[in-house]
A and B are shown apart, each in its own frame.
Chain A
Amino acid sequence: MSSKSNRFIENVVSGLHLDPVQSTEIVDELQAHIEDRAQDLVDGGLSVDQALRQAAIELGESDLIAKGFYEVHSRRSWRHAFSGALPHILLALMFALHVWTEPVIVAVMLGTALVISVLGWRAGRPTWTFPWLGYCILIPLISWGLAMSAVGYGAWGVLTRGSLPLDIPIYIVSLAYIALSMWVVIKVVSRVARNDWLMASLTVLPIPFLAYWFLYFYNQKELFDQSANRIGLTLQEIDSTAAIIFLIMAAATIVFFRVGRRTVRLALLAITTPSMVVLAWLVYKSGIGALAVFAFAITSIAVLMSPALFDRTPKQILRTTLEKFQTRRNHE
């Protein structure tokens, strides 16, 4: 295969961001086209290399072709989009009805998310299950936060009093748990990001707002005290804002699935996340400074974009397809 047609296929694969089966099929189809066209050109008098080069040029811009395929294959049905937005809608309902403090309801919600995520994971990981998976990731993340507090508390005790306030085994277990839970989260996110890191960003969409919300209540030290008034705000007002924010997440998820364009998806996630944090800050008036919220919003975007680090699939697919192509060539 000429270097031009090789580069063409490389560029298409890099821009596809689809699952390996789909990517391989597309590459096979384009390769068949290049070979057919090249054969005609060879018959017309060109050398094989010239013909392959010309055939790749005639196919057009690889970036546009990849974008076209991505748009077609990543755009989802309304049903798919609503299924993906459903966990956010349920969370919005939980807050709107002020039932998020009911352990049974929280357990049912997390249990449902877990069941859907596990079943989805085993059934080829349909993308609508990823937002559900996001809530499952919360469980290790929150408990990771608690374990971190225990370790931080211990470190503080050593620094100030020269002794550990808790028993040593608690710290060992906490540290082991932190390592294990982070490994699980990173493993899951990297797996989701393998084909398209934007899917992993969609998965972790609620995390920045929930982190802000959790920190807010942690600051107020009244997490489960429903009767308390907080800085002029009732729990009902706080919950209504949270409900609206979850509805924004649901709407963003639906738009994400319905729009096939990658740039639009990226912009949607980049705008939604800091907007939710700023909205919460404006309503909650939690005494956090504008600069701190700005830093939090920037960190949120960084967290959401971090799955891009795991986006390695194009190279893997490329290697496989090129190896396959070389083998075929050698047989001929």
Chain B
Amino acid sequence: MLYRKELLKGSTETILLSVLSVQPMYGYQLVKEISGKSSGYLNFKEGTLYPALHRLEKDKYLTGYWDTSKNGQKRRYYKITALGQRRLVSMLSEWNEFSQAINLIAQPQLFKPN
């Protein structure tokens, strides 16, 4: 469990940018989306999500804006920027190489190099 927490902590940026690359979302919607898409495996400690979103916004990977939903609730939405898209591509490529390397070491019989 602790290992999963650490992995999640290290992958927060990738997860948030990946989910937001599909469509703009607000915080709570992101939590539900991530949990739903990962079948409940990835559960963010919700409060830590917001500083992470603000950090990405400050780094110009996201832009935040307020919008009012149909029921009149004001929410802060986050949208990925072009810089964020480029960052995501580079992170995913890095992630693929990393996970491939781990697989080659941990399960060499399943993942043979070409």
> B-contacting residues of A (Cβ < 8 Å)?
25-26, 28-30, 32-33, 35-37, 58-62, 64-65, 68-69, 71-73
- A29–B45 contact, CB under 8 A? no
Which residues from chain A contact B28 at a C-beta distance below 8 Å? 32-33, 36-37
Tell whether, in the assembled complex, residue B73 and residue A32 are in contact, meaning their CB atoms are under 8 Å apart.
Answer: yes
Instruction: Tell me the nearest residue of chain A to B56, going by C-beta.
Output: A72
Given A29-B76, A33-B27, A36-B73: A61 in contact with B47 (beta carbons within 8 A): yes
How distant is A10 from chain B, measured CB to nearest CB, in Å? 15
Q: Report how far A65 CA is from B50 CA in the complex, Å.
A: 8
Smallest CB-CB separation from B44: which chain A residue? Answer: A60
Please determine whether B51 and A71 come into contact, CB atoms closer than 8 angstroms.
yes
Closest B residue to A36 by beta carbon equals B28
Complex Cα distance, B52 from A33, in Å, reads: 15
The 4 closest A-B pairs by CB, nearest first: A68-B51, A60-B47, A65-B47, A59-B47
Given A36, A37, A62, A72, which contacts B51 in the complex, CB threshold below 8 Å?
A72
B46 at the interface (CB under 8 A from A): yes
Q: How far is the CA of A280 from the CA of B46 in the complex (A)?
A: 50
A72-B55 contact given A32-B75, A33-B27, A33-B28, CB 8 Å threshold: yes
What CA separation (Å) do A62 and B48 show in the bound complex? Answer: 10
Residues of B close to A72: CB separation below 8 A: 51, 54-55, 58
Residues of B within 8 A of A (CB): 26-28, 45-48, 50-52, 54-55, 58, 73-76
* Contact call B54/A69, Cβ cutoff below 8 A: yes
Instruction: Tell whether, in the assembled complex, residue B47 and residue A35 are in contact, meaning their CB atoms are under 8 Å apart.
Output: no
Summed over the interface, the residue pairs from A and B with CB atoms below 8 Å come to a total of: 58
Min CB distance A35 to B, Å, is 7
Interchain residue pairs with CB less than 8 A apart (6): A32-B27, A35-B73, A36-B28, A64-B47, A65-B51, A68-B48
Min C-beta distance of A59 to chain B, whole Å: 4
Q: In the complex the two chains form, is B46's CB within 8 Å of A69's CB?
A: no
Most B Cβ at <10 Å: residue of A25, A33, A61: A33
- Report how far A28 CA is from B67 CA in the complex, Å: 12
Assembly CA distance A26 to B57 (angstroms):
13
A58-B50 contact in complex given A29-B27, A35-B73, A72-B58, C-beta closer than 8 Å: no
| Separation of A71 and B48 alpha carbons in the complex (Å) | 12
Residues of chain A contacted by B46 (CB below 8 angstroms): 33, 37, 58-60
Taken together as a complex, chains A and B put the C-alpha atoms of A153 and B64 apart, in Å, by 62
Q: Report how far A65 CA is from B45 CA in the complex, Å.
A: 10
Give Cα A32–Cα B76 distance, bound, in whole angstroms: 9
The residue of chain A having its C-beta at the shortest distance from the C-beta of B43 within the complex is A58
Task: Output the least CB separation between A80 and chain B (Å).
Answer: 12
Contacts of B47 in A (CB 8 A): 30, 59-62, 64-65, 68
Give CA–CA (A26, B28) in the complex, Å. Answer: 14
A60 in contact with B48 (CB, 8 Å): yes
Smallest CB separation, A308 vs chain B (Å): 24
Are A73 and B54 also in contact (CB < 8 A) when A59-B47, A60-B48 are? yes
Instruction: Out of A37, A69, A71, name the residue touching B50 (CB < 8 Å).
Output: A69
CB distance from B63 to the nearest CB of A (A): 14
A57 to B48, CA, bound (A): 13
- Known contacts A32-B26, A33-B28, A37-B28; decide if A64 and B58 are in contact (CB<8 Å): no
- Determine the distance from Cα of A72 to Cα of B12 in the docked complex, in whole angstroms: 15
Q: How far is the CB of B12 from chain A (nearest CB, A)?
A: 11
Q: A65–B27 contact, CB under 8 A?
A: no
Contacts of A37 in B (CB 8 A): 28, 46
Q: Assess the B74–A28 pair: CB atoms within 8 A.
A: yes
A37 to B75, CA, bound (A): 13
CB-CB under 8 A from A36, the residues of chain B are 28, 73, 75
Give bound CA distance, A65 to B27, whole Å. Answer: 14
CB distance from A114 to the nearest CB of B (A): 31
